[in-house]
Amino acid sequence: MRSYKLIAPAKINLYLEIIGDRSDGYHELVMILQSIDLADEIEIHSLSSETIHVHCNHPQVPTDKSNLVYRAAELMVKRFPEAFTKHGGVDITVHKHIPVAAGLAGGSTNAAAVLVGIDLLWNLGLTQTEIEELGSTLGSDVPFCVAGGTVIATGRGEQLSPLPSLDHIYIVLGKYRSLEVSTAWAYKNYRQEYGSTYLRDTNDLASRAAAVHSGGIVKAIVEKDAVAIAQKLHNDLEKVVLPSYSQVLHLRELFASQPGVIGTMMSGSGPSVFALCTSQEQAEKIQQQVRQTIPDEDLELFVTRTITHGIQVVGNG
């Protein structure tokens, strides 16, 4: 039986701007997505029987069809039925380190790893673009998770253009274990409150150029100026999530008040919040300081950093 072990990194949003309505019910976005070294491990083994099995060490993660990992394997079975018959089923184990339901693309990066792993297990020889296209049918963040790095994402988040990579910016990240924010809820609320400001025709290039404000942060990324990047962090979904989740707002304010923090923001639809720091040493100090101020065990705190890759294969058997 063959097997592969893969590393699946989380992402943060350095930028998330909602610019319009889409006819498919999603929102037209401009995002800057950044991989971080907080990652899950995925092991995929081939099985002699034509079945899909999913295991996970985290009690909150389902192992049935509601898990994106299961749906990724099922998608491969549907798209490549002959390979499934020839090579057999898959047994997938997810070792979770990324907080779940956190706005860190934990489920999406796991699904991306499954697509990459099954491509290898079944000798399909798919291109990165083909894997990303398969991923886009599973979720808006899955295509980004395949190759990761620093990317500007448009459309519903699946159209990707690479930016110069940002390595070694240190980050403190916090997430309350018991808090979950539904992404659909966050977008729906945003639409209700701010929908009147949307672009109606997202293909109108002139109005689109006027609506998009990511130029400043893109320039800062191109110049690799961490302080300028930190000053230009932006997330429209904060406008609806922070007023409803006081703990998230409080954590964000606490991060912002720490010496050595150059910028702070909520990631995706939350509830995780991150702070960009001047050095690893500062990030570790800030983690300790925040832990002393909020001794609540429910708050998970991580020191992590920006990385330049997405899914990595680290072993095979």
**Which neighbouring-strand residues pair with 16?**
31, 235
CA atoms of 180 and 270, how far apart (whole Å): 8
Nearer to ligand C5P, 27 or 232 (CB): 27
Q: Which C-beta is closer to ligand C5P: that of 40 or that of 91? A: 40
Q: Output Rg (C-alpha) for the chain, integer angstroms.
A: 20
Q: Which is nearer to ligand C5P, 29 or 217 (CB)?
A: 29
The residue to which tokens 């990165």 are assigned: 128
The distance of closest approach from Cβ of residue 93 to ligand C5P in the complex, given in angstroms and rounded to an integer, is: 23
* Cβ-based nearer residue to ligand C5P, 119 or 141: 141
Q: Is 109 in the site for ligand C5P (CB under 6 A)?
A: no
Instruction: Say if residue 186 carries a ligand binding annotation.
Output: no
- 283 assigned to a ligand binding site: no
Residue 145 in the binding site for ligand C5P (CB under 6 A): no
Q: Catalytic pick from 141, 175, 232, 236?
A: 141
Residue 11 is a catalytic residue:
yes
d(C-alpha 6, C-alpha 62), whole Å: 20
Number of Cβ within 10 Å of residue 79's Cβ equals: 15
* Residue (of 314, 315, 311) closest to 147 by Cα position: 311
Residue 135 lies near ligand C5P (rule: CB under 6 A): no
Query: How far apart are alpha carbons 105 and 267 in whole angstroms?
Result: 10
Whether residue 141 lies in the annotated active site: yes
Question: Can residue 183 be called a binding residue for ligand C5P (CB under 6 A)?
Answer: yes
217: Cβ contacts below 8 Å, ≥ 6 apart: 14, 15, 32, 228, 229, 232, 233, 234
Give yes or no for residue 274 binding ligand C5P (CB under 6 A): no
Residues that bind ligand C5P (CB under 6 A): 26-27, 29, 139-141, 156-157, 183-184, 187
Binding site residue list: 99-109
Binding site residue list for ATP: 99-109
